[in-house]
Structure 1
Amino acid sequence: MASIHAKLKQIDEWLRNRLRYCIWHDWKKLERKRKNLIRLGVPQAQTYARSRTRMGGWAVAQSPILGTTITLSRLRRKGYESMLDYYTKFKPGIQ
């Protein structure tokens, strides 16, 4: 039980980063990235530099740029259910 719990937690972290990467990649243009960061609550003074970062998409997904804006609660509102929550809801009974 403990090993599956740890593994699902690890997969969930990777999957959330992948979702953030896909969102960042979907925004494509610099101006769209800036506007969407403003919509997510980043102060306007910081959005210019953050939208034009030279980091790759995967690095941005793991950085505070998206980690603090595209949070787990926002992903849940859009329909994401973590694998760990799903497993604990439907796990087979221990006999």
Structure 2
Amino acid sequence: MKAKLKSLSTRRHVQSVIPALCKIREYMRGWLNYYGIAAMKHAVEELNGWLYHRIRMCIWKMWKRPRSKMKYLMKLGIPKYYAHMAANSRRGHWFTSATSTVNRALSKEILVRKGFYDLADAYQQMHVNY
């Protein structure tokens, strides 16, 4: 399943994240409807966290240049100093997308508003009736 999610959120063609989020939502909804009856709360939460990290990394890569990264971070409410530090970081995309600055800018609520399918919430709603 992770391999399929990696192919749906590929880093090569990161022009817009919205179509990738739609494909991921469709795939994850089907996966959850099939495997959701199993008791796997911890595994679903772990997978959900990994997927959030992956989407943040794709968005971070989509912004490309440090100037763009800084501009978008400041638009999302990050102070100029912290935006500058994160944007000019020479660590990789995966590492930088896990920093507190990027996590605050691209929070769970913002990603859900943009169309991210929160797997853990869907799993919880599915198991409320049991």
Map of 2:95 onto structure 1: 59
Match of 2:58 among 22, 25, 50: 22
- Structure 2: 5+ residue stretches without partners: 1-36
| Counterpart-to-counterpart distance in 1, 2:62 and 2:116 | 17
Aligned-pair identity in percent equals 27
Deviation per CA, 1:45-85: give whole Å up to 9, x if none.
33222211011100011111211111011011111121122
Aligned to 1:62, what secondary structure does the other structure show? coil
Q: Which amino acid aligns with 2:50?
A: W
CA 1:27–1:8: 2 relative to 1, 3 Å: same
Higher RCO (Cα < 8 Å, 6 or more apart): 1
Map of 1:79 onto structure 2: 115
- Structure 1: 5+ residue stretches without partners: none
| Counterpart-to-counterpart distance in 2, 1:82 and 1:8 | 10
| Counterpart-to-counterpart distance in 2, 1:18 and 1:12 | 10
| Counterpart-to-counterpart distance in 2, 1:28 and 1:85 | 31
Q: Which amino acid aligns with 2:66?
A: L
Deviation per CA, 1:8-54: give whole Å up to 9, x if none.
00000000000000000000011110100100111113322221101
| Counterpart-to-counterpart distance in 2, 1:46 and 1:90 | 39
Aligned to 2:105, what secondary structure does the other structure show? coil
Q: For the Cα contact (< 8 Å) 2:82–2:101, is it kept in 1?
A: no
Matched, 1:12 2:48: yes
CA 1:47–1:4: 2 relative to 1, 3 Å: same
Task: Give every structure 1 segment of 4 or more consecutive aligned residues whose post-TM-superposition deviation is greater than 6 Å.
Answer: none
Q: How many residues in Structure 1 have an aligned counterpart in Structure 2?
A: 94
Q: CA deviation at 1:2?
A: 8.6
